[in-house]
Structure 1
Amino acid sequence: MSINADKNTELYNECTTGDAEGNETTPLLSNGSAPTRVKGASFASSVFNLMNAIMGSGILGLAYAMASTGIVGFCILLLVVSSLAAYSIHLLLKLCDQTGINSYEDLGGRALQKPGKVLVGIAIVIQNIGAMSSYLFILKSELPAAINSFLTSHGTGDAWYQDGRLLLIIVTICIVLPLSMSPKIGFLGYTSSIAFFFMLYFAVVVVVKKWSIPCPLPHNVTTHQDTFQTSNSSDSECTPKLFVISRKSAFAIPTMAFSFLCHTAILPIYCELDRPTKKRMQNVTNVSISLSLLLYLISALFGYLTFYSHVYSELLLGYDAYLRHDIMVTTVRLAILLSVLLTVPLIQFPARKAVILLLRGSRPFSWPVHIIVTLLILGVVLLLAIFVPDIRHVFGLVGSTTSSCLLFVFPGIFYLKISGRPLKTFDSIGALLLVVFGLIMGIISLSVIVITWAQSS
């Protein structure tokens, strides 16, 4: 899930669309009146905004996905998922031009009436809750590590500031909750842009530090998650695997789907684009996804080539045992923590808005409802972050369900229901294959993940 996948949700009602005929060269202006639209965002600015929407916590789990599928297997899957993501956006943009609708929920309503709108709203709520849980999980695991990096010794681990769950509760109540209570997204939208540069810095650190950790891994090294099997450490462990097939591979595609989901931000960014034609917005999408794919691939590859089979499902944790006081690792950890603190309230905003719309419709604003829904959402997210033992479970479960629906299934179904094009046309066949792929991927991944959980418990 992206850091800012929903930061433009507030713009849904501010965007205007036109040309019910679906002309690809007709800008999204107004409903038949004279054009009054002010100059919108430039092409480069829109690319940055969409990349900012794509990049998120998924980048921390992609090295583990590569270790679970092999380098070549990972590259193939990443290319397939990113290409399908771009194609599903192509279908959404065509529907936007054809119908004049500029929100994902309303497309669901047009395609499947009220049940469709409710279904999309529920999927967005679950997706955002999963994204917030992944961020709070990062906070739970990285905050004690950040504190330890400033200490002269590891200590016993019994101090309160080394308890990730306690720190998570304190930070959530003292920082996240007050920021989340604001009824307007306001300043959080501006500060969120910094998070993209944090992710870029993260990728740079992963590349640089690949040569700071020897392979085979040092002996007698243990961490709070796993004990490395040093008795089997050998040069063979430093040979990268090209293809890997195991139960862990079931987490790979959901993690990738989680990482490329930006579809709820596409239409608002389309509305903001200067000279917003479908072709121009598709170019924005292709450039953004290509650059994000490159950044994902670099960070995953060098993360995997640093730890090989011992790579963590949350990559930064792997550096604790070897580069505990390293300045670059410490600064990137602090940068990630800061982005998490600024992002969770941002993602909570559209989740709360969707819940209130599902429960109350378009009734006037109510502070009691606003507060209760905010507390309920953060309570659920906090419980998930506290009790989920591994971030890959969040990526796997959310990625195989709501991410696959929002990324593959819904765009295909909406196009087939709304476009009115014959089933033999290229896009209709593509939409059908998109639905089939999303359902098969989601069902197989979810089944293997559930079976793995049952056997491990």
Structure 2
Amino acid sequence: MEPPCGSVNTEQGWYVSAQQPEEAAAEESSPLLSNELHRQGSPGVSFGFSVFNLMNAIMGSGILGLAFVMANTGILGFSFLLLIVALLASYSVHLLLSMCVQTAVTSYEDLGLFAFGLPGKVVVAGTIIIQNIGAMSSYLLIIRTELPAAFSEFLAGDYSGSWYLNGQTLLTIICIAIVFPLALLPKIGFLGYTSSLSFFFMVFFALVVIIKKWFIPCPLPLNFTEEYFQISNATDDCKPKLFHFSKESAYAIPTMAFSFLCHTSILPIYCELQSPSKKRMQNVTNTAIALSFLIYFISALFGYLTFYDKVESELLQGYSKYLPHDLIVMTVKLCILFAVLLTVPLIHFPARKALMMVFFSNFPFSWIRHCLVTLALNIIIVLLAIYVPDIRNVFGVVGSSTSTCLIFVFPGLFYLKLSREDFLSQKKLG
């Protein structure tokens, strides 16, 4: 099992807390977390690094799919839906943290166990495993499809057939050399430096999307050469839509839910937070979600205003088509691919923890078991990344099932089950 964050054994019907639930909720303190950090001789992870880690858990391949969502919902429709999902994500984190303070439970899986017994724990852990495997495979799918194209744009001659332009080969090498070693780290706080680097790459990506909006003409050309071959001269092609609905609009909520899902990383980050408290962790969450919302909205808006209805389901593909040898675009591609890559080890942590809690909860921590489970997860996500044909399949399936459960369903169910408030109270109605 992962190194524990708190002392809890709800299977035997007891939990350890330095305070009664009501007192803990009133003071919003987390003595278990503080005691654990003190026992480990660690001051905890700073507020800033915790924000970076949470943003890295939130932001990944979702940023590349939101412009496509805006094209199929309209600017105002997209803005309203994105804001609603962001607020609901923040509120559901509030519910999770409230339950942690009241029960002294410090993992999502144990909240399921405390609320609904062993079946609840298994369902939550299974959902976390499926969601995080889907997320990691979507990130690696982007690496497989985009990295060879990014490398080829830096090469002057024809190097087709070379091993370093083969997506499967590059993906395997990267997973062995980067993802697997970082995923082996025993604590999520160790990834704070890579998460801060990933955040700045995402900001750079948003800035380039804004700038390059003025470099691609509308209507879009078939070939971006000295002579433009227009697809259409209709001015309607270059008018943004405030509201729009089509069969592709069905991807909107699942993709947004997928893009804001950080709930499996909330409690591991909370465990390692410096001076942990419910209020402090909620501030970390609100800051991370607000910054992610801003970057998401800016990149989606200017990506949509660049390609309009011709926006690809994965935004980088449009720039590859119309600005194939632009140095800034080539650089930002590598940056965003590296940022996406650095997200994989972060969300590897809760997936591995869920597996450990289901199958090895009664065993002490073992480095051999830790390495073998990490290796097995890496093999699974690499195979999925090689054989899944379209990123929309991952967003649609994972976002509409496991992501919505982890954001919308489980936190509310746990609160209704565990909170001692009257059922018609304001919080329970919420």
* TM-score, normalised relative to structure 1: 0.81
Q: Which residue of 2 aligns with 1:396?
A: 396
Residue 442 (structure 1) aligns with = none
Q: Which residue of 1 aligns with 2:235?
A: 235
1:12 counterpart = 2:2: no
Q: Which residue of 2 aligns with 1:25?
A: 27
Tell me whether 1:114 sits opposite 2:107 in the alignment: no
Where does residue 202 of structure 1 map in the other structure? 205
Structure 2 residue identity aligned to 1:387: Y
The answer to whether the aligner puts 1:79 opposite 2:86 as a matched pair is no
Alignment partner, residue 143 of structure 2: 139
Is contact 2:28–2:279 with CA below 8 Å preserved after alignment?
Answer: no
Matching residue of 1:415: 415
Q: How does 1:290-439 map to 2 (within 5 A)?
A: 290-365=290-365, 369-430=369-430
Q: How far apart in 2 are the matches of 1:44 and 1:159?
A: 42
TM-score w.r.t. length of structure 2: 0.85
Shift of 1:298: 0.6
User: Who is 2:11 aligned against?
Assistant: none
Task: Give the Cα separation in 2 of the matches to 1:31 and 1:344.
Answer: 26
Greater mean deviation of Cα atoms: 261-270 or 296-305: 261-270
Change in 2 beyond 3 A, CA 1:112/1:283: same
| Residues matched between the structures, number | 414
Change (3 A) 1:295 1:376: same
Cα separation, 1, equivalents of 2:414 and 2:124 = 11
Structure 1 residue matching 2:322: 3-state secondary structure: coil
* Cα 1:256/1:48, change in 2 over 3 Å: same
Q: Could you list the per-position Cα deviations for residues 172-226 of structure 1 after superposition, in whole angstroms to 9, with x for gaps in the alignment? A: 345444554566768545323311111111111111111111111113479xxxx
Q: How far did residue 401 of structure 1 move?
A: 1.0
Q: Report deviation, 1:386.
A: 1.4
When residues 42 and 69 of structure 1 are mapped into structure 2, their CA distance, relative to the original with a 3 A threshold, is same
Supply the AA of the counterpart residue of 2:215: S
Moved more, 356-365 or 276-285: 276-285
The one-letter code sitting in structure 1 at the alignment partner of 2:122 is V
User: What is the alpha-carbon distance in structure 2 between the residues aligned to residue 411 and residue 392 of structure 1?
Assistant: 26
Is contact 2:148-2:166 (8 Å) kept?
yes
Distance 1:375 1:197, change over 3 A: same
Q: 1:88-113: CA deviations, max 9, x gaps? A: 11211221221122211111111011
Alignment of 1:209-220 (within 5 A): 209-220=212-223
* Structure-2 separation of matches of 1:123 and 1:190: 28
Q: 2:420 is paired with a residue of what secondary structure? A: coil
Query: Matched residues in 2 for 1:13 and 1:242: separation?
Result: 49
Q: By how many angstroms is 1:359 displaced?
A: 1.9
**Amino acid aligned to 2:347:** I
Secondary structure of 1:115's aligned partner = helix
Give the alignment partner of residue 167 of structure 1, picking from 162, 166, 170: 170
1:140 Cα deviation (Å)?
0.9
- 8 A Cα contact 2:50 2:189, kept in partner: no
Shift of 1:411: 0.1
Alpha-carbon contact 1:149-1:325 (below 8 Å) kept: yes
In structure 2, give the amino acid aligned to 1:208: I
Query: Using a 3 Å threshold, how does the CA distance of structure 1 residues 124 and 238 change in structure 2: closer, same or farther?
Result: same
Closer/same/farther in 2, CA of residues 176 and 281 from structure 1, 3 Å limit: closer
* Matched residue, 2:68: 64
User: Given the superposition, is the C-alpha separation of residues 183 and 101 from structure 1 closer, same or farther in structure 2, using an over 3 Å criterion?
Assistant: closer
Change (3 A) 1:350 1:280: closer
Q: CA deviation at 1:260?
A: 1.0
Structure 1 residue 50 displacement after superposition: 3.2
Q: Tell me if the contact between 2:3 and 2:365 (Cα under 8 Å) persists in the aligned partners.
A: no
RMSD: 3.2
Unmatched 5+ stretches in structure 1: 1-8, 223-228, 431-457
Give, in whole Å, the separation in 2 of the partners of 1:175 and 1:40.
Answer: 25
Moved more, 386-395 or 406-415: 386-395
Distance 2:38 2:159 in 1: 66
- Compute the displacement of 1:339 (Å): 2.9
Equivalent residue letter for 2:203: L
Greater mean alpha carbon deviation, residues 327-336 or residues 60-69: 327-336
8 Å contact 2:53–2:195 — kept in the other structure? Answer: no
- Determine if contact 1:18/1:97 at 8 Å carries over to the other structure: no
> In the aligned structure 2, how far is the partner of 1:281 from the partner of 1:367?
30
